[in-house]
Structure 1
Amino acid sequence: ETVQSIKKVIVKNKGKRCMLGVSKFGYGIIKECFKNEDVAIEVIENNYFGGNIGCSGLLVLEDVKQKLKEKDYKYDVIILPAVMFDSKGRDLTGKHYKDLEEEHGVNIHIIE
């Protein structure tokens, strides 16, 4: 179901530069699932909490911002896992994903 939801976002945004943000633990399986799709799969490192944390649930928007700063490429659409956010769209630091949309001029899709 998650894979199909992500594929729908990719199809809906055909021709746009799409990024799928994943944790380092999820990268291998996600890369395999989307190998034929027009989407950049980017590992988002957990710099905020540091250490060897590799799960999506502890990623915060600051980590996503760091990834975007590292890239010379500007994305139109960013797909992120819902586990990063509470029911109101806020990460563990209290920041809302809409703030990142406004700051970077991107369209963010949160996928369950």
Structure 2
Amino acid sequence: VFAADEFYVNAFGADTPARIPPASDYGDYDMFEDGIGIVRSYVDEFDEACESGLAARAAEVLAARDLTARYIVGEAMQPFLDAMIANSPLAGRLVPLTVRNDYFGGNVNVTGLLTASDIAPAIKATSEEEEGTHQLFLLPSVIFNDNGVTLDDMTVQDIENAAGAPVSVVSCNPFDYLPEIIKLAQDES
């Protein structure tokens, strides 16, 4: 029997990484797609990215180009992801853009179920509020299906058009999205 990740996030908020069971408790992560073990896996991979220097390298490249990477996430990740990043080399350079899922009534809060109709206005508002700053808006690939559309049938181009800002699709895992961020930042110059 496994408790879903949301159980731990709801109970422990920002302290979730310190309170969630160790990876060994999840076996082979057989229930991963059902939201059991995703947080543990993410926390472990983020910690490894920090320890290996990958996070520091991404922060250096972003700082050298005066860029802030705005990574789109659902509200479920916000309490602990903000705290993890604040205590990492990426503080101030990788800034989650937490999006409320109004499309599904606000009670569905995972990143994979976000829709373009909620993401685009959040990007637009952030872009306008922080006008003059250089930002990379990053969409986790999990919000798109195999046909490249969101749950409300929007493409990356549709999101860019509605947001009035360029966006890039990146992985959901730190070991994959940090190199992608480095490449995107280098391509900005």
Partner of 1:67: 122
Q: SS of the counterpart of 2:81?
A: helix
- Given that 2:72 and 2:138 are in contact with CA atoms closer than 8 Å, whether structure 1 keeps it comes out as yes
Task: Show the counterpart of 1:96.
Answer: 155
Structure 1 match to 2:100: 45
What displacement does 1:57 show? 1.9
Return 5+ residue gaps in structure 1 as ranges: none
Q: How many matched pairs?
A: 111
Q: Scaled by the length of structure 2, what TM-score is found?
A: 0.49
1:14-53 alignment, distance < 5 Å:
14=63, 15-35=66-86, 36=88, 37=90, 38-53=93-108
* Selected match of 1:111 from 171, 174, 188: 171
Q: Percent identity?
A: 18
Helix, strand or coil for the counterpart of 2:157? helix
Distance in structure 1 (CA, Å) of the matches to 2:141 and 2:148:
8
Q: Cα deviations across residues 9-61 of structure 1 (Å, max 9, x unaligned)?
A: 66554422321111111112321332231122221000112141111121011
Name the one with the larger helix percent.
2
Q: CA deviation at 1:68?
A: 2.5
Distance 2:166 2:135 in 1: 5
Q: 1:77, 1:109 within 8 Å by CA — same for their partners in 2?
A: no
**Any stretches of 5+ residues in structure 2 without a counterpart?**
1-41, 173-189
TM-score when normalising by structure 1: 0.75
CA-based RMSD: 2.7
